[in-house]
Chains A and B, each alone.
Chain A
């Protein structure tokens, strides 16, 4: 075993820097030499700890190999950028399969432990050297664990943001069904941010389509509390300021009871039972008269 630290002591810091670099080099050589065995040990520990259950054994082995190589490369170069890119790429692949944060952090920590164990074994005869090797190894290893965890979480947050954005875009269409009549079907939970967006979109729609009546259908809103009710009242008031009448439809019996129980005053709001009734009422207000021309015998 090569002893590095005994040669020519210059200044203290230089020596320690040099020796750290040399120790890391030695460490990397050791990890490369025992790649097969350590990797297998690691995969065994992963399976044992029941991590990454969403993936098959072969997949775990393939990913483990590339993580291992990346890990060694970071120890060698000291730069985490390649690992960061790899971790992001890996996260992108495994997040849709339901891999959790604790699993990702868990496997990286396992690898750290497996490698540390092998170092203990290798340097067990010389405690001083082992100490110095660990001094060089631990900060690098912790930095790697950190990088992987942060990359994973960032990737997850990015996906969540993207999905929120997509849901928001999808869920608030303002549709014109007749000249000067808009409908706004709201599906899903209304939070303050969404309420604001819905209102802004509706007001712009009123101006763009010169709407006189708007039917807001909240059949798809699971729960209405006083906050949501207030948002609705605000939307109704704002629409009225732009000269449009609002009809709210689709209040289920539970929601109606809740609103009465908590004492929200919706008396200023025009409400009709269902969307069909709302549209009929709107047509009446606008002066439309829709009638059946003949019985529907043309239909198959």
Chain B
């Protein structure tokens, strides 16, 4: 199943609905890279609330999505990581690196609007 990507003003919201295969993750990466350019988006939110597992491939793909989108001029925020998932990730040594994270969709939107206001992509 393709992950639905919703356009909301300057932002794109990719809301993951079920556990994703590696193939679907790569599809998501390609879709986001393409649509971010097409809609001239400034921020992208990936909602992972429903995921109860996050493996190394998923982490790496999310990192690379953030990196790709930064090169395309957009900020990325991962939202909705569950407590158990967060704990498992640090235990396994999986990191999201410099990728922004927020508690939920609402927080993610607030985060992105703060960061995109300050001008494109400059670290604070």
Contact = CB atoms under 8 A, between A and B. Distances in A.
Interface string B78-98: 110111111101110001100
A206 B82 CA distance: 10
Question: Which are the 5 A-B pairs with shortest beta-carbon distances?
Answer: A203-B83, A243-B102, A241-B86, A238-B86, A243-B103
Contacts of A207: 82-83, 103
A244 B95 CA distance: 15
Task: Give the most central of B78, B90, B101: most A CB within 10 Å.
Answer: B90
Interface string A178-219: 000000000000000000100110011011001010000000
B103 A241 contact: no
B24 interface: no
A123 B84 CA distance: 72
B107 interface: yes
Interface string A216-253: 00000000000000000011011111111000000000
Contact of B90 (A206, A210, A234, A244): A234
Q: Interface SS of chain A: helix, strand, loop or mixed? A: helix
Contact of B87 (A203, A212, A243): A203
A199 B101 contact: no
15 contacts: A199-B87, A200-B87, A206-B83, A207-B103, A210-B103, A212-B103, A235-B90, A238-B86, A239-B86, A241-B78, A241-B89, A242-B83, A242-B86, A243-B108, A243-B111
Interface in B50-84: 78-79, 81-84
Given A234-B90, A241-B89, A241-B90, A204 B83 contact: yes
A238 B89 contact: yes
A238 B103 CA distance: 12
Given A238-B90, A241-B89, A242-B81, 13 more contacts: A196-B87, A203-B86, A203-B87, A210-B104, A212-B107, A234-B90, A237-B89, A238-B89, A241-B85, A241-B86, A241-B96, A241-B101, A243-B103
Contacts of B95: 237
A267 to B, nearest CB: 15
Nearest to A234: B90
Contacts of B104: 210
A270 B90 CA distance: 18
Given A203-B83, A238-B86, A243 B91 contact: no
B58 to A, nearest CB: 13
A134 to B, nearest CB: 60
Task: Give the most central of B82, B85, B87, B104: most A CB within 10 Å.
Answer: B87
Nearest to B95: A237
Contact of A241 (B81, B107, B108, B111): B81
A242 B104 CA distance: 8
A206 B85 CA distance: 14
Contacts of B85: 241
Contacts of A239: 86
A269 B19 CA distance: 32
Contacts of A238: 83, 86-87, 89-90
